[in-house]
């Protein structure tokens, strides 16, 4: 926006050079614009069209109106995938943010070698959504995995955490919580913004550690918490790689890790059901949109802007 505004002001000052400037600007923008139109907007519009068709990838798409959407109402596997996704989002995001905030507060207290710790704690975020880590996860939580070996040292009989439908999703939640690095770094930046004098004043008034945290840190950090919450919820709804790799692409055992995105992929590429998959993609967009809007609406009641 501001770039356009600048361009506009340039136009007023130097009408002669206007065309040249514009052209240069567009030329520099063109790689990004090309990507936007050809790789993002084009396929999005195509998928919006396909959402109203029966498209099996081989024959031409056939217009069927809202049939894909009405079909979602009675698709029990889709309902299950929604349950799995919601459970994942609403368990893993709060846990992840709590861990991130806790560590940020600890690191903010001026631990020696803070830069080192910050990097170390950030590392899982860089690796977390990679295929390599998901494969590692399978090893850690497998029947003969690291976790069971550790448990056996203290005399507990482990189990196949990933192959048991009742615990498989839990391992993915742990994986997501483990990638607390990026919200942590944002929390750290937020903590730095809180003026030290508030704490000093509170200490003088006799507030303890918890008092200071709940009366000063937490309220002043709410904008940052809100920002992280929105981002992480969107991120969690879109999770795909972890579940795909950990379950071997099946969403199993027994659909217990069948995220909505994974089911979408399975429908589209595994079942030649690209029309339905496109409809699902737009449904997910709506779900994420609704949650983000609700988040913004609710923020009025708990986010405190110190200005």
Residues interacting with other proteins, by CB under 8 A?
A: 22-23, 26-27, 30-31, 33-34, 37-38, 41-43, 45-46, 56-59, 142-143, 159-160, 162-165, 247-250, 252-255, 269-272, 274
Which residue lies nearer to other proteins by CB, 232 or 257? 257
Which residue lies nearer to other proteins by CB, 224 or 274? 274
Q: How far apart are CA 21 and CA 80, in angstroms?
A: 55
Q: How many CB atoms lie within 10 A of CB 180?
A: 27
Locate 291 and state its tokens. 């949650």
Which residue lies nearer to other proteins by CB, 22 or 130? 22
Residue-wise burial string across 240-249, b where 16 or more C-beta atoms lie within 10 A, e elsewhere: ebbbbbbbee
For residue 150, give Cα distances in angstroms to 163, 168, 209: 18, 19, 35
Q: How far is the CB of 190 from other proteins (least distance, A)?
A: 38
Q: How far is the CB of 40 from other proteins (least distance, A)?
A: 11
Q: How far is the CB of 42 from other proteins (least distance, A)?
A: 4
Q: How far is the CB of 75 from other proteins (least distance, A)?
A: 9
3-state secondary structure of 100: helix
Q: How far is the CB of 168 from other proteins (least distance, A)?
A: 9
Peptide bond just before 253 cis, omega within 30 deg: yes
Q: How far is the CB of 8 from other proteins (least distance, A)?
A: 11
Q: How far apart are CA 270 and CA 250, in angstroms?
A: 10
Which residue lies nearer to other proteins by CB, 269 or 296? 269
Which residue lies nearer to other proteins by CB, 58 or 204? 58
- Which residues 6+ apart lie within 8 Å of 259 measured at CB? 81, 84, 85, 88, 239, 240, 243, 251
Which residue lies nearer to other proteins by CB, 167 or 238? 167
């Amino acid at each position: 926006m501001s770039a356009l505004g600048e361009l506009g002001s340039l136009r007023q000052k130097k009408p002669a050079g206007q065309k040249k400037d514009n052209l240069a600007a567009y030329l520099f923008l063109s790689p990004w614009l090309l990507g936007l139109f050809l790789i993002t907007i084009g396929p999005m519009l195509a998928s919006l069209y396909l959402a109203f068709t029966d498209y099996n990838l081989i024959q031409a798409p056939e217009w069927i109106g809202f049939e894909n959407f009405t079909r979602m109402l009675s698709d029990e596997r889709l309902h299950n995938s929604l349950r799995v996704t919601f459970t994942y989002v609403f368990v893993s995001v709060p846990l992840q943010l709590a861990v991130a905030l806790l560590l940020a507060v600890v690191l903010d207290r001026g631990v020696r070698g803070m830069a080192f710790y910050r990097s170390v704690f950030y590392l899982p975020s860089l690796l977390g959504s990679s295929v390599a880590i998901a494969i590692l996860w399978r090893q850690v939580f497998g029947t003969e995995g690291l976790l069971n070996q550790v448990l056996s040292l203290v005399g507990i009989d482990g189990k196949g955490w990933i192959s048991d439908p009742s615990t498989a999703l839990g391992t993915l939640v742990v994986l997501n919580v483990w990638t607390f690095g990026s919200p942590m770094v944002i929390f750290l930046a937020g903590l730095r913004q809180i003026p030290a004098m508030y704490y000093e004043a509170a200490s003088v008034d006799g507030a303890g550690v918890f008092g200071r945290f709940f009366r000063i840190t937490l309220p002043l950090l709410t904008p940052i918490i809100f920002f992280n919450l929105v981002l992480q919820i969107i991120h969690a709804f879109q999770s795909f790689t972890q579940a795909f790799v950990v379950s071997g692409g099946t969403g199993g055992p027994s659909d217990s890790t069948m995220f909505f995105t994974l089911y979408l992929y399975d429908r589209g590429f595994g079942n030649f059901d690209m029309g339905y998959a496109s409809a699902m993609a737009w449904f997910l967009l709506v779900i994420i949109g609704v949650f983000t809007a609700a988040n913004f609406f609710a923020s009025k009641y708990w986010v405190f802007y110190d200005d």
